[in-house]
Amino acid sequence: MIINNKRIIIIGNGVAGNSAAETARNIDKEAEITIISNDIYPLYSPCVLPHYLAGEIDNTTLFLKEEDDYLRENINYLMGKRVTDIDVTEKKVLFAQNGLKYDKLVMATGCKPLILPIQGNRLPGVFTLKTVQDINGIKNYGGNTAVIVGTGLVGIEGAVALKNRGYEVYLIELLDRIMPKNFNIPMAKQIKEILEDRDIKVLTGERVESISGKDRVKSVITDKRIIDCDVIILAAGMRPNVELAQKVGIEIGITGGIKVNKYMETNISDIYACGDCVESQDIINSTYSLNLLWGFAQKQGEIAGSNCTGKKKEYYADIPSVGTKLFDTAIASIGITADEDDDSFRLIESEGLDYSSTVVLKDESIVGAQMIGKVNNIGLFSSLIREKIKIKDFKVSSYKKSDINPVLCRLKYLL
């Protein structure tokens, strides 16, 4: 049953908050929907910020909504307002001496970049890659040499963007390979070669110890060398924004994200959470993990928005997948990577003229896949990972002609 004339307040103007608002609006035309955010921009995608930094796209593509769109959807957008507290018993959101009553509250506070606790981490010239302000800051700052700390997707895309802007780029990674969360050693090595071909210096197994400089960044000191640079980008990971949630007593999981059930409800009634600030169940290990990805946030927002209006919807965990383009080569990864020390993992590697792929097996079930070059078939693995199909059960020729499964048939050529 849908109850009309509800007051729904959404904290956060990212994709999760907006998809929650849009979904709620589609179901309930009468509800009073308000988005409160300390952001001063309409909805934009942080995923395309590296392209914006490289100058490949402009404001029109970066921003997914205009202020008129909020009006058209009849969603109040209170921008530039930081929520200071939530009165859970009175059901009231408090911000800047104001209070706003809610019937349902959605926390979509997102995440923030991890600032390494090292000396000099607040010097001018130290940037992160998360908001439009960050990118504008880098664009206005100038400089010739850039050091990027961390080689996740953000770090790699940032490196490519800065290279395209004409910087001399260094990439520093603490672990033994780049993109350690998404690729195994052999694949990571190939990606490193792609970057090195374009003159990006990749330093793995190196710890950043401090940043030196007086009133602006001069150099970065690692345990192996000193690199003189003008710009430092910290891309060593993201952490959920949970300060507000903690303050009002919303339960936080062990991974540091807000704990929610499959209806995206928190432990406090009528408060939902979605997007980068929540932890989600890992479909492969059945544990909880942080999947701070655009697609996850979009889907969780839809679930939270739908449940707010009274239309029950369950969230089924997605399989994390990332993909990007490094200069001319596409790379993609789905599922998890193999742990080198664990014997229950096995890799199936294949290589061609313009591609290489690796399929990760755990106890002979498919748990992940990585591809460089041709990536258009990687999505096929999502159904195999979800169904936990054993590789020995996977014989296409045993299927009868009448029950052909296009997904399995195509996969035959990938394994």
Among residues 47, 229, 277, 409, which one is catalytic?
Answer: 47
Site membership for another protein, residue 132 (CB under 8 A): no
User: Least distance to another protein from the beta carbon of 374, Å?
Assistant: 9
- Alpha carbon distance 90, 77 (integer Å): 22
Binding test (CB under 8 A) with another protein, winner from 56, 58, 251, 339 = 56
Tell me the one-letter amino acid at 15: V
* Residue 101 in tokens: 């009553």
d(CA 165, CA 134): 16
Provide the mask over 317-336, with x wherever binding to another protein is found by CB under 8 A and - wherever it is not.
----xxxxx--x-x-x-x--
User: How many whole angstroms separate alpha carbon 266 and alpha carbon 260?
Assistant: 5
385, 387, 388, 394: CA torsion to nearest 10: -90
Which residue's CB is nearer to another protein, number 19 or number 145?
19
- The yes or no reply on residue 415 touching another protein (CB under 8 A) is no
Q: In whole angstroms, how close is the CB of 357 to another protein at the nearest point?
A: 13
Nearer to another protein, 94 or 380 (CB): 380
In the complex, minimum distance from the CB of residue 146 to another protein, in angstroms, rounded to a whole number? 22
Residue selected from 138, 149, 161, 378 as contacting another protein according to rule CB under 8 A:
378
Please identify which residue in 61, 74, 98, 350 interacts with another protein, judged by CB under 8 A.
Answer: 61
Give yes or no: 47 in active site.
yes
Closer of 44 and 102 to another protein (Cβ):
44
376 contacts another protein (rule: CB under 8 A): yes
Residue nearer to another protein on the CB measure, 170 or 296: 296
**H-type alpha helices, 73-228:** 132-141, 153-164, 185-197
* Residue choice 102, 299, 357, 367 for contact with another protein (CB under 8 A): 299
Binding mask 233-262 for another protein (x = CB under 8 A): ------------------------------
Strand (E) or helix (H) holding 50: helix 49-54
Question: Helix (H, G, I), strand (E, B), or coil: what is residue 339?
Answer: coil
Examine residue 27 and tell whether it contacts another protein (CB under 8 A): no
Give the whole-angstrom CA distance, residue 291 versus residue 240.
10
- The answer to whether residue 227 forms part of the interface with another protein (CB under 8 A) is no
Residue 317 is classified by DSSP as P
**3-state DSSP call for residue 134?**
helix
Q: At what angle do helices 185-197 and 153-164 cross, to 10 degrees?
A: 10
Residues 6+ apart with CB under 8 A from 243: none
Minimal distance in Å, beta carbon 53 to another protein?
13
Q: Does residue number 402 form part of the binding site for another protein (CB under 8 A)?
A: yes
b/e per residue 61-98 (b: at least 16 CB within 10 A): ebbebeeebbeeeebebbeebebeebeeeebbbebeee
User: Among residues 7, 41, 47, 262, which is the contact residue for another protein, using CB under 8 A?
Assistant: 47
Cβ atoms within 10 Å of 164's Cβ, excluding its own: 17
Q: How far apart are CA 285 and CA 323, in angstroms?
A: 22
Per-position x/- string for 276-295, each x denoting binding to another protein as judged by CB under 8 A, each - no binding: ------------------xx
Quick check: helix, strand or coil at residue 187?
helix
Q: Assess contact for 232 and 141: CB atoms under 8 A.
A: no
Q: Interface residues with another protein (CB under 8 A)?
A: 45, 47-48, 51, 56-57, 61, 64, 294-295, 298-299, 321-325, 328, 330, 332, 334, 375-380, 382-383, 387, 396-397, 399-410, 412
Question: What residues are annotated to the active site?
Answer: 47
